[in-house]
Amino acid sequence: MIRIVTLGLILALSLSSCAQMTDTQRRAGTGTVVGAAGGAAIGAMAGNAGMGAAIGAGVGLLGGLIYDQKQKSDEQGRRDGQTVR
């Protein structure tokens, strides 16, 4: 019972902390988590889940930041296009 309550509190706190984050922080965090999960899965098949998770987290972080820069660039392009008209 205590484990369920503890996991519920951890989940609630982790979700509520995202409310104060910027778009860049959310995208980087999402990339890191998804990369770590994918890396752990691949690493488990290769025999070292911890190393796979660490590598996946780094790659996911970079992917999230690249995606964020693309989104910002697209948004700036839309703004520039609307002011020219």
**84 pLDDT above the threshold of 50:** no
The whole-angstrom separation of Cα 30 and Cα 7 is 20
By the 8 A CB rule, do 40 and 52 touch?
yes
pTM score over 0.85: no
**Residue range 17-28, pLDDT digits in tens:** 677 888 898 899
Amino acid residing at 22: T
Rg (CA), the chain: 18
Which is higher by pLDDT, 82 or 61? Answer: 61
- 27-77 residue pLDDT tens: 998 899 899 999 999 999 989 999 999 999 999 999 999 999 999 998 988
Angle between helices 49-84 and 23-46 (to 10 degrees): 150
Q: What's phi and psi for 47, nearest 5 deg?
A: 110, 0
